[in-house]
A = this chain, B = another copy of it.
Amino acid sequence: MTARPANAHQARLLALLRDAGPHSRAQLGDQVELSRSKLAVEVERLLDTGLVVADGLAASRGGRRSHNVRLSPGLRFLGVDIGATSIDVAVTNAELEILGHLTQVMEVREGPVAVFEQVLAMAAELRDAGLADGFDGAGIGVPGPVRFPEGVPVAPPIMPGWDGFPVREALSQELGCPVMVDNDVNLMAMGEQHAGVARTVADFLCVKIGTGIGCGIVVGGNVHRGTTGSAGDIGHIQAVPDGRPCACGNRGCLEAHFGGAALARDAEEAARQGRSPELAARLAAHGGLTAADVAAGAAAGDATCLDLIREGGTRTGQVIAGLVSFFNPGLVVIGGGVTGLGHTLLAAVRTQVYRQSLPLATGNLPIVLGELGPIAGVTGAARLISDHVFSPA
């Protein structure tokens, strides 16, 4: 374990080195408002912490050649993204480049003990592959609201057994490093912000369509988590008045009408009712259907599959349209497993938002698919813990 920076100047320098790689001291001086001597002092102190190392001489800019510095090449972060039905674990270096990534199918409802056993096994596998000796920090995403300061899930509807489980504390003890815990959707947003499609946008929404549907909200570059950590829980916004009954006790919630779980149900019903030969064949072969079957059916030109995706996109678009009028974002990112549905889904969402939101809010509003796919969450997780490790203790 390395030390933490001592002040905000050092934190800023670490973030610069993380986000833009090695710098000469002269380049660092161009980017921070510090006198030459003060900068030299702060860089020396960072070298003493071991977070930063000297990296040879920089190319000459005319005068005396400046020394390069970079983040320690031995630093390792662990990014963990626990979804409703899968676990992703990745190791990154200090610049948050992914050095190794494992995926495992697993139901979050198996509970925290079983899930973390799996997470630790995957982390050990990455370590044993020579990608890390140990970890300098770990970020963990879970598919439900989190009391962020304590790193504890609260009242997570799809996560029985997780309510109040001390995720941060338990994993920090097991891994022997600092741990931060957040909602999986917030981490997807941070991932797309760090290395994906939202790199240059201060205010944006990141809608994750997986088993359920959630939304990461970024305001002025920071994730907005809300008063009780449930901000962005848009799956239970009413999409259809007096619509389908939802597990939450209301009717017509977005998640009751769309998302991986709803889509699987609708697909099985369509197969049984003989409305889709494509889905019927897949149901007969596998005994069950998922969003991936609908995506495959749509790719094969099955009209029912295309209708299911379009209708779901329209429902999602109706909800996003209201959020766009309310929040006036600079970008809307659509991500999550169901983005395998691709451009048919995106087109339906766009049509609805551009039709229904105010023109002033949509005039220059891009609505795009995420760029990072399955690594968005683990990238965001690494970003979260690096923000913590690179901030003053």
Cβ-neighbour of A231 out of B227, B232, B236, B328 (below 8 A): B328
Q: Are B361 and A325 in contact (CB under 8 A)?
A: no
Does A172 touch B at the CB level, under 8 Å?
no
Q: Across the interface, which residues of B come within 8 angstroms of A322, CB to CB?
A: 234, 237-238, 319, 322
A354 CA to B329 CA, complexed, in Å: 27
A355 cross-chain contacts in B, Cβ below 8 A? 250
Check B233–A358 contact: CB distance below 8 A.
Answer: yes
Contact pick for A328, options B219, B228, B327, CB 8 Å: B228
- Do the beta carbons of B321 and A238 come within 8 Å of each other? yes
How far apart are A258's CB and chain B's nearest CB, in angstroms?
15
Q: In the assembled complex, how far is the CB of residue A292 from the closest CB belonging to chain B, in whole angstroms?
A: 28
Instruction: Return the chain B residue nearest A205 by Cβ.
Output: B326
Q: Are B237 and A330 in contact (CB under 8 A)?
A: no
Residues from chain B with Cβ under 8 Å of A129 in the complex: none
User: Is A224 positioned at the interface, with any CB of B under 8 Å from its CB?
Assistant: yes
Find out whether the CB atom of A328 lies under 8 angstroms from the CB atom of B358. Answer: no
Q: Which 6 A-B pairs have the closest CB atoms?
A: A226-B328, A231-B328, A227-B330, A237-B322, A230-B360, A230-B328
Given contacts A219-B220, A226-B327, A326-B326, 6 further A-B contacts (CB under 8 A): A226-B361, A233-B361, A234-B322, A236-B358, A238-B318, A240-B241
A interface residues with partner B (beta carbon < 8 Å): 145, 154-155, 203, 215, 217, 219-220, 222, 224-234, 236-238, 240-241, 248, 250, 318-319, 321-323, 325-330, 355-361, 363-365
12 A-B contacts (beta carbon < 8 Å): A154-B360, A215-B326, A225-B328, A227-B329, A228-B363, A228-B364, A231-B327, A231-B328, A232-B328, A237-B325, A238-B356, A241-B241
